[in-house]
Amino acid sequence: MTSIRHNDAPTEAPTASAEDAYLDAARDAILAVGWSRTTLTDIARRAGVSRMTLYRRWPDTQALVADLMTREWGRVVNEAVGTLDPAADPLHRITAGVVAIVRGLRADELLRRIIDLDPEVLLPYLLERRGRSQDLLATSLAGLIRKGQRHDSIREGDADVLARSLLLACHGFALSAHTMTEDDADVSAFDTELGHLVERFLKP
């Protein structure tokens, strides 16, 4: 992915609505030509602004698209959490939430496009380091696990380790489930098994 760095001092940061418009333009560019072919010039053109406007907020394309990914995966998580029963106990909320999030990520148009055209973009987040979205999700899961532990609905153990272990399992279900089917068969059966896996992993 190409980018051009400028040394001009940043001026005013864009408003939240303007920033969303720039991220929308980046999303459109990736859907159209893929991650590796998207440039700040292309994003600026789609957003109807100059490259310098984008440079005032992001030093390069990588930084901008990182913010896009955080927003995109955060939206998927928020939509999934919004479907949960607030009255359910922590174990069942976690189980249903993990399945809903994995299903939402697997169906996400942007993630599917990245997997189809530029899968190497995801490798650092699978092999080298956690991204911001992964950290936020792990922190939220750990909080729910601690709550369940206090109410004896979730087994004892280091909540952070339990949460991160669930994330490791979810990577495969979100990104690789299709490799375990024949001829692009429906993967919903794996969602059912993921639910059993999560519940049995956390149950006292």
pTM: 0.85
pLDDT of residue 5: 36
Across the range 48-60, mean pLDDT stands at 93
Confidence of residue 9 (pLDDT cuts 50, 70, 90): very low
- Compute the distance between CA of residue 80 and CA of residue 99 in angstroms, rounded to an integer: 9
Question: 197: which 2 tokens?
Answer: 């896996």
Rg (CA), the chain: 19
Whether pLDDT at 40 is above 60: yes
Q: Does 139 score more than 50 pLDDT? A: yes
Residue 18 has pLDDT above 50, yes or no: yes
How many whole angstroms separate alpha carbon 81 and alpha carbon 67?
A: 21
Residue 15 scores a pLDDT above 70:
no
Distance, CA of 54 to CA of 58 (rounded, Å): 6
- pLDDT band for position 188 (50/70/90)? confident
pLDDT in tens, 104-118: 999 999 999 999 999
Domains of the chain: 16-61 (1.10.10.60), 64-202 (1.10.357.10)
Q: Is the pLDDT of residue 185 over 80?
A: no
Would you say residue 193 has pLDDT above 60?
Answer: yes
Interval 27-35 mean pLDDT: 95
What's the rounded mean pLDDT across residues 146-159? 95
Residue pair 17/43 in contact by the 8 Å Cβ criterion:
no
Q: What is the mean pLDDT of residues 52-67?
A: 91
pLDDT digits (tens, 9 = 90+) for 72-94: 999 999 999 888 888 889 999 99
Distance of CA 184 to the CA centre of its chain: 23
Collapse the DSSP code of 29 into the 3-class scheme (helix H, G, I; strand E, B; otherwise coil) and give the result. helix
Q: Looking at residue 14, what is its pLDDT?
A: 55
* The pLDDT of residue 2 is above 50: no
